[in-house]
Structure 1
Amino acid sequence: MAVKKGFLYNVLLVVAPWLYAGLSRLLFATCRGRVHGAENRARCEAGGKPFVGVFWHYSVFAAVELIRGRGRGWGAMVSASEDGEFVARILARQGVFAVRGSRNRGALSALKGLIGLLRQGYNAAIVGDGSQGPPRVMQAGAILLASKSGAPILPMAVAADRYWAFRSWDRTLLPKPFARLDLWYGEPLMVPKKSGAEEIEQYRQEMEHRLNALYAQAWGKFGKDGHDGA
């Protein structure tokens, strides 16, 4: 539910990012992390150029925590809504530069902002299924960004052995204290520059397939089909 503007809203804008940053660092400090497919990330970084990291929305809390502080800086697309302001400020506290925009509002401006960050050497983080879903259905934003910037797309997936799953459209995941938390990198995808609409759609479908295959592989290691049934 959206938070209405007013005194409480303004107070929360200041307090919430600090509170979340402190609590999340305490929580994730107890988790045992493990990385799979590091060679795929190394392929993206071999040329010294930035890349576009893509993951499903359910893993946004864990993914940001696992990638922040690794290598070059990160930029991320965040919804232009009022609730998105909270997310933007939380990301700022974690060292991630937020560019505001979504599929229905400010998408072109956000895309240009991310291209600018990539040119400055930042990696870009994009939620593949957007801020409203449907869950695990790829949107075209990351494909367009890769086509216009020339940066490779690196699919990512997160899985945990113990976690909470919120009753949201994507069943957002939050690991429980002392959980084992795995980060998976899949095979990078290059999208040709100046790709037309048909090519963009083909690569969108390909990235959706890769992300869902990586998702199944990640959760399969814990003997699960996915995180939905938590």
Structure 2
Amino acid sequence: MRPLRIPAVQATLSFILARWMQFCFATIRWTYENQSVAEDVWDKGGGVLCAFWHSRISLAPASWPLDRAQPAKALISLSADGQFIAKAVALQGFPAIRGSSSNKDKADRDKGGAQALRAGLRQLKEGALAITPDGPRGPARQMAEGLPMMAKISRAPTLFIGMSCNPAIRLNSWDRALIPLPFGKGAIVWDVAHYPRGEDLDAVRLDWADRLSTVEARADEITGLEP
């Protein structure tokens, strides 16, 4: 049995990871760019989609101030690794909706996508839903259609969030996931979009993938993190 499938191991590692992330967030020197677009969304309230690439999921709680932003939930995959991450994120105030925003060519495998879509749309009636649109297994930085589909149906704004920190640990995973280290430089960069009426879903998906990569690249530029 894989260690992450053992509930006691999951709980212990999730607790350690959550506390480590909180310690790093408190000691990192953060730079915020284009924060006004996020503040406008927070001030208006209501539903909002939050998008960031899967490799930066460990930095996500640092981008969402619980004291002023909408209550948020995170769409986390049904895999054992997803359960581990879901618990770590939940310990920081972001409960999970379990499921996947899979591509069409993966539709023959039931990953709870339909249930997650319904639960996500319910969440968007009152708060924020965080999505990694290239998760849970990639390809890295290629957006699945789940995010633009939710934006189209809900008409909620979408915040693209680029996050970086330096120094950091890069895992040997499909997405080269980033784990923060303390006392370094951090950056959070925002952009915002609404689903354009009448636009083709695939065209929006490609455009939004480029915009999300742009804010992430800008955050890496600020911190000096190598691509």
Q: Does 1:114 align with 2:114?
A: no
Matched residue SS, 2:31? strand
Return the TM-score normalized by structure 1: 0.86
Q: In 2 relative to 1, CA 192–33 (structure 1 residues): closer, same or farther, beyond 3 Å?
A: same
Unaligned 5+ runs, structure 1: none
RMSD: 2.1
Q: Which residue of 2 aligns with 1:92?
A: 90
Matched residue SS, 2:95? strand
Q: Which residue of 1 aligns with 2:46?
A: 49
Q: Does 1:32 align with 2:36?
A: no
User: Partners in 2 of 1:55 and 1:64 — Cα distance?
Assistant: 11
User: Partners in 1 of 2:15 and 2:218 — Cα distance?
Assistant: 35
Segment drifting more, 149-158 vs 20-29: 20-29
Instruction: Work out the percentage of aligned pairs sharing the same amino acid.
Output: 27
Q: Which residue of 1 aligns with 2:74?
A: 76
Equivalences, count: 218
CA-CA distance at 1:56 after TM superposition: 0.7
> What letter corresponds to residue 10 of structure 2 in structure 1?
L
Structure 1 segments (4+ residues) deviating >3 Å: 1-5
Q: Which residue of 1 aligns with 2:205?
A: 204
User: Partners in 1 of 2:39 and 2:51 — Cα distance?
Assistant: 16
Q: Which residue of 1 aligns with 2:7?
A: 10
CA-CA distance at 1:115 after TM superposition: 0.7
Cα deviation code 1:152-202 (max 9, x no counterpart) = 11111012232111111111112222011101101x111157x6xx71111
Residue 68 of structure 1 contacts residue 95 of structure 1 at CA under 8 Å; is this kept in 2?
A: no
Residue 76 of structure 2 contacts residue 99 of structure 2 at CA under 8 Å; is this kept in 1?
A: yes
User: Partners in 1 of 2:35 and 2:216 — Cα distance?
Assistant: 16
Instruction: Give the alignment partner of residue 154 of structure 2, picking from 149, 156, 160.
Output: 149
Q: Which residue of 2 aligns with 1:22?
A: 19
Matched residue SS, 1:90? helix
Cα deviation code 1:40-76 (max 9, x no counterpart) = 1133234322210101111110123332525221111
User: Partners in 2 of 1:212 and 1:156 — Cα distance?
Assistant: 9
Unaligned 5+ runs, structure 2: 103-108
User: Partners in 2 of 1:67 and 1:46 — Cα distance?
Assistant: 13
Q: Does 1:191 align with 2:192?
A: no
Instruction: Give the alignment partner of residue 182 of structure 2, picking from 174, 177, 182.
Output: 177
User: Partners in 2 of 1:218 and 1:23 — Cα distance?
Assistant: 21
User: Partners in 2 of 1:90 and 1:122 — Cα distance?
Assistant: 20
Cα deviation code 1:63-95 (max 9, x no counterpart) = 233325252211111111233222222222111
